[in-house]
């Protein structure tokens, strides 16, 4: 059992290999992280997911995303917002009213 202060690593299986679970808080615009993300949570200030924000074809770090969780104030996902995310398994989209063409292309 882990003790206080221990580092705990959690892993998920992406269909090919086990990868560490890495969480990212999306705050708008293009993603700007330098590690492979598996779980994305959209910050409460965000109401629009930008075009190609999580495009797996233009940013290989996005290819491992398996889970995205929106809050209820996100209203729109722009074109190709989540395209080419081959490992995407779950998207919780509370309140989204407008999903543009190709938003989830090749997922």
pLDDT tens per residue, range 34-78: 567 888 899 999 999 999 888 877 666 677 888 999 999 999 999
Segment among 22-36, 46-60, 77-91 with least mean pLDDT? 22-36
pTM of the model: 0.75
41 forms beta bridges with: 25, 69
Q: How far apart are CA 31 and CA 29, in angstroms?
A: 6
CB neighbourhood size of 50 (10 A): 18
Model confidence band, residue 6 (pLDDT cutoffs 50, 70, 90) = very low
Q: Are 84 and 102 in contact (CB under 8 A)?
A: no
**Parallel, antiparallel or unpaired: strands 76-77 and 48-49:** parallel
User: 3-class DSSP state for residue 69?
Assistant: strand
Q: Are 9 and 20 in contact (CB under 8 A)?
A: yes
């Amino acid at each position: 059992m882990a003790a206080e202060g221990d580092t705990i690593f959690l892993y998920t299986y992406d269909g090919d290999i086990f990868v560490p679970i890495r969480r990212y808080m999306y705050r708008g615009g293009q993603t700007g992280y330098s590690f492979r993300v598996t779980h994305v949570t959209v910050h409460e200030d965000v109401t629009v997911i930008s075009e190609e924000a999580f495009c797996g074809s233009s940013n290989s770090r996005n290819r491992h995303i398996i889970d995205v969780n929106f809050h209820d104030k996100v209203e729109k996902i722009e074109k190709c917002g989540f395209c080419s995310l081959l490992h995407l398994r779950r998207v919780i989209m509370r309140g989204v009213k407008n999903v543009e063409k190709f938003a989830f292309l090749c997922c």
